[in-house]
Structure formats: C-alpha cells, structure tokens
Amino acid sequence: MLAFWVRALLSGLMIAAVSTVARRYPAAGALIASLPLVSVLGMIWLWHDRPDAANMAAHAEATFWYVLPSLPMFLLIPLLLRRGVDFWPSLAAGCALTIGAYLLTVLIAARFGVRL
C-alpha cells in the first residue's frame, strides 16, 4: 500500500509542477506536460511490479499507438477557444475527438496486425 501512495504523490507532484510553471510560463508548462513523464513513471512502476521484457515491450508499443490519436485534441481545443467557445465545451469536444480517434486507431491497427 505504501508503494501506491508514493506513486500517487510523485504523479500528483508532476501535475502540480506543470500547472504552477504554466501559470507564469505557458510554453514551459506545455513543454513539461509534453514530456512522457507519466509514461516513463508508469514503465518504472510496471517494471518494478513485473520485470518482464515482453510485457514491457507490449506496453511501450501500445503507448506509442495511443499517443498518436490524442494529438488532434491539442489542436482542436485552442482552435475552439480562439473562436469564442468556452473552456469546458472545448475540453469536452477535445476529449470526444480523442475517444473517437482511439476507437479508429484500434480498428485501423487491427487491420495491420497491431494488437492494442
């Protein structure tokens, strides 16, 4: 149980750091947020719990394929905000787009033999 709380604390500190830096320096906050810190921490925790190379390779590859469909969200949200759409509807639209893109990615990947 201690490991869970350590993981939660570290993950929360990352999010707090991003939001704190972004308040003063939006681009620097975005740079920190764009780093694959969550993925790297997740891989470290996964390796600690289950040091299995095949499992880690599958996890890292699936992470790659799931990152790609999340990228359009980061274009849609600013587009909507700049056109006067409020934050919450913009965020919801970005999330909906990402969910749709995830589903499409899974379907397309399966046609090419990539199992997600």
Q: State pLDDT tens for residues 35-72.
A: 888 889 889 989 999 999 999 999 999 999 999 999 99
Q: What is the pLDDT of residue 3?
A: 85
Q: Is the pLDDT of residue 1 over 90?
A: no
The domain limits of the chain are 1-51, 52-116
At 38, which helix (H) or strand (E)? helix 37-49
Q: Is the pLDDT of residue 15 over 90?
A: no
Portion of the chain with pLDDT greater than 70, in percent? 100
| CA nearest neighbour of 32 among 43, 21, 45 | 21
Q: Is the pLDDT of residue 20 over 90?
A: yes
CA–CA distances in Å: residue 59 to residues 11, 49, 51, 77, 105: 19, 14, 12, 28, 16
Per DSSP, which regions of the chain are E strands?
none
Q: What is the pLDDT of residue 49?
A: 93
Q: What is the pLDDT of residue 77?
A: 98
pTM of the model: 0.78
Q: What is the pLDDT of residue 7?
A: 86
